[in-house]
Structure 1
């Protein structure tokens, strides 16, 4: 009797077929099919004999089974040789537990899992999937034979969902998803503050949180330095404002403690400044892992009335003319944009029985870029007094007088 011919269908079924004996010597045959020594199927056949078929089901995955036939007739029986077939691998069974290895980095997470039972067949690979909960930046999954894997290039302080699959050629076993939050990292990409003029001594400074907070912002610090009119630094930087709080990039607080804290204040008014003076500001944002500084930005206080003007220099040009010249004061004196100068001649008259009276006559209004004026029509060898009034958009200040004598005729 030839042995049965088998064909493995899947992880739980093997189809078997067989032919009659080479010399039946009978008109009636009984076939008994044995698996691992136990009879599982019996069928009778009569001449002319057909090829017999049987589908063995409900088998275990990736398991070897031994089959043989016993063929009997009224004259006796015979037994075939045994043949062995193994079912295909099935999906792994049991549980697959996923866990992470501490400490968790700000840009990577190492995960590990136990090898499940291989009764269903050899594990060919593991697939570790990764997805951010907010869906901002996808992460690269792992696929391979190891039971530990590190996922890199993650975003700091971001929640990710991980899951692993153990796969045979017959299917995969899935783990329960695991949510992990990456560690905080120093914030990045903090824009410069915006500076707005309020008055001649006050500036309003405001800024936005870092574009990449990479954690919980717990403090802002504002630094300032004063500039000269030529743009050079006049004073070293100093911290002029600080605000603490709790600013999480996640919209919903996860604990009552977070709800109790307000975000640090991102705006302030700096007072007690010099009029019409440039100041530079930068802001520092701090989280639990570090800090980031913005670039410097410049703001200028508003104008106020000028406070001082130096007396003019008066020099003779002829018996009948004098040159009146002056210097443009510094910004901290003009306290605004100079719009012009008034050149005035000053004279004293002493009426009888009264104190002297000072008369001032405006001779010329000079533009801001003019720094001299020639006074003509004067008398020879006589002393004349002049003042200069400096004016900005807010007000004017008049200098002390400067004197000069015309030449002799």
Structure 2
């Protein structure tokens, strides 16, 4: 005899066998069909439990059944680690497929695994599933405090809420609205830092602020509201002064206008400066300071050129000087008393001068009066009188010494000056040029970071480059002239943008014949919540170009209306405030083949010789793939496969009397892959009933009958007994007749 070992059989399943003997390729003998049933065993391992819902103190889990392998599953065993990472312990045993655990700790990790039991034993455990209970939302933080007020910015700081969960990573949202505006609050900062600088504000304007704290469970109540006001700016310089009326030999009236920009503060005074066009240099003196916008300058010399300019002052500071007005006084005959230079530089209010007089007088000491509030490198003209004589001569010129420049009055960051692609490594700043104090400014030193200094030319804007991404820099500046370095300006804090993020890994988590569900990143990433990462999902079109099919912050997307068994190509791109990151490599995913549709219930036709025929509908091949069918019979206890193949009918014989058989059929699609022949099965049809119970009349009900046996078991045995006696009597009569 020949022995064959069959492998990969299903537990508790009926199999039908027959043997064909082929001789010379033509003669074929087929044995009778024999059947056998494989024994049952313990269930297959179930899938891991899934999470239905959670709270701070509870987890609600559910699970699905598994293949019972011939014996109905009696109960499930759910084990957990109690959140302390030790050995697994039982937390539920029973037939239900759902269990809720109470009295758990907030924000705690719990692990679970599941097994199934039947008559033959317990299955292996499922894979371990990990779930977390919810966290408490944070308490409301205290209102933010003002750290520093700028002209166009406000720097704020705040503290973490009291008694936060030690496992929390908190993020903060700072909201702002203009105090006088009817508009509501708008977010101005979102992140984990405890300070920020709100920029691009209006000068001398009051704003309201409040702050929220966030964790993964949600946000806190808002803090109290606070008001802070930006500083006013220095006024802009007035226009060039103008002559009012006629220029006389010794006097002229000069007027000027309001500046176009008062820096959001009322102008408190104007200062008119004059410089005589002489060989002494570009030396200026103040000849008027007050609130008027005209001044009668009556200390002129005939035939002399004068330069005049004006600047204004407010509580926020002093403006730059205006453009220069140049005038020429008409000439007159020279006077007897001429001006002479000082013997030495002055440091006080009064100075002594030596004036040459007529030959009948000795040289006398004269005193210049009223020299006050001298500025570095400025010129002062003052009438003199001869001591003890009472006569006034001409004018004398006093020059104060030059010195280092004044402090830079304004330094700020320039928003949107740097392209988005460079904003991670560059910061643009600008400043106002300070007073030069007698020597032209030649450049600036910019200090940033760890006391790094870069020297630039005489400009008022500069872009710091090669910085670290997502880093705060402290920046200050000083001016340079012939006399040296000015004091450093007040420092400002500027932060580079983070680098555009790298693309996440793209996966397909659900394959369908008309859709693909894609997933990337992780929804529980605290970092992504803090810096607002969004994603662009791109898909290749028929022309070979990639276009965006999804844009947003979700980490899953279902691509629909696809064609079965077709390759589709995708790319993923992450974005943050620094811009769009690089596109990923190409990912290729293939839709599945579509399964055949469900068939109608088969039809059962009784035949002679204890046999019936089952027929079902025919399906056309799907895109060239052939269709096969699987016929299953159920006798009330177990389901058995009795036919698999391309035919649409099957003869079923050797069935038992007084039984019910239910037949159902499903269609399968066969196709070839590199792994060999594959089959994709559709759903089973409704079942068709075939009953072998008899009526009182003895006739068979046939296909789909619903009749029940009307004779008791005892009656059936009596009928069999009488039939047997009749047969024996007939045999006896024939025997004796033959004798």
TM-score (norm 2): 0.24
Higher percent of residues as strand: 1
TM-score (norm 1): 0.41
